[in-house]
Structure 1
Amino acid sequence: MTERPAATLTFDSGLTDQIEAAQLAMSAELLGHAADMLGDRAVTAPQLRFLAECLTEALRDVHRIAESRGARLVSLACGEAQSAGESAPDL
């Protein structure tokens, strides 16, 4: 039996940007919803727990996006410095 090669993932920055934009928009919408819920005294403990789970997931996404964009900025800065014959900037 012949084994198939592992799938290769390719990087599509346009698609990545679209996904990140959608995640950031959903996070912003969730923040508004959270503010409404926290101002409502009728909200139950299970509802607040679900909100906390959603906020945790959104924060995880935003943190990943920030790290990814930061890494891209460092990579770009290093690439520009190398092409200009300079040492990489301290970031």
Structure 2
Amino acid sequence: MTNPVHGTRLLPWTSPEGKPCYLLGGTGTGYVSRLADRVEAEQMTSAADLIEDAGDILTARSWTPGEIHLLAVELTAQLTKVHRLSLSRGARLLQLESALDEDAVLDAGRTDGDEPQSATSGTA
């Protein structure tokens, strides 16, 4: 029996209660997967823009305490999103590695000339 949680993807958003959202199973090409990919790309772009803005603010050395506080709040929010994204992608890489390892074990069990058999093939 396969583990239904094995093919989960941590999505780049949370529920209204702040709980993590997951996509179960799938091929990674469906609507929710594509939407998650777009949201992740937007989050990475926003993080890059904020890094640039933070550098400009800190280089100017003419900030107010309020500006530094706002910068810290924005950096914390973006870092939280990027951390979630890295956890999601890391988990997907581990799933891919596991699948590749399983394929390697199956391939190692075959002898030269053996062809994988489909479930419907047989002798007639």
TM-score bracket for the superposition, by shorter chain length: 0.7 to 0.9
Partner deviation per Cα, 1:13-43 (whole Å, 9 max, x = no partner): 2111111010000000000000111122321
5+ residue gaps, structure 1, are: 1-8, 87-91
- When you count strand as a share of all residues, which structure comes out higher? 2
Partner of 1:77: 97
Distance, in Å, in 2 between the alignment partners of 1:67 and 1:83 is 24
Distance, in Å, in 2 between the alignment partners of 1:24 and 1:41 is 26
Higher alpha-carbon Rg: 2
5+ residue gaps, structure 2, are: 1-21, 25-31, 107-124
Partner of 1:21: 41
Query: Quick one: which of 84, 94, 99 aligns to 1:64?
Result: 84
Q: How does 1:4-19 map to 2 (within 5 A)?
A: 10=23, 12-19=32-39
Per-residue deviation, 1:50 = 0.5
RMSD of equivalent CA atoms: 1.7
Figure out how many residues of one structure are paired with residues of the other and give that number: 78
- When you count helix as a share of all residues, which structure comes out higher? 1
> Match for 2:43: what amino acid?
Q
> Could you tell which deviates more after superposition, 57-66 or 10-19?
10-19
Say if 2:54 is the partner of 1:38.
Answer: no
**SS of equivalent to 1:39:** helix
Distance, in Å, in 1 between the alignment partners of 2:51 and 2:97 is 33
Distance, in Å, in 1 between the alignment partners of 2:74 and 2:91 is 26
TM-score (norm 2): 0.57
Distance, in Å, in 2 between the alignment partners of 1:10 and 1:62 is 18
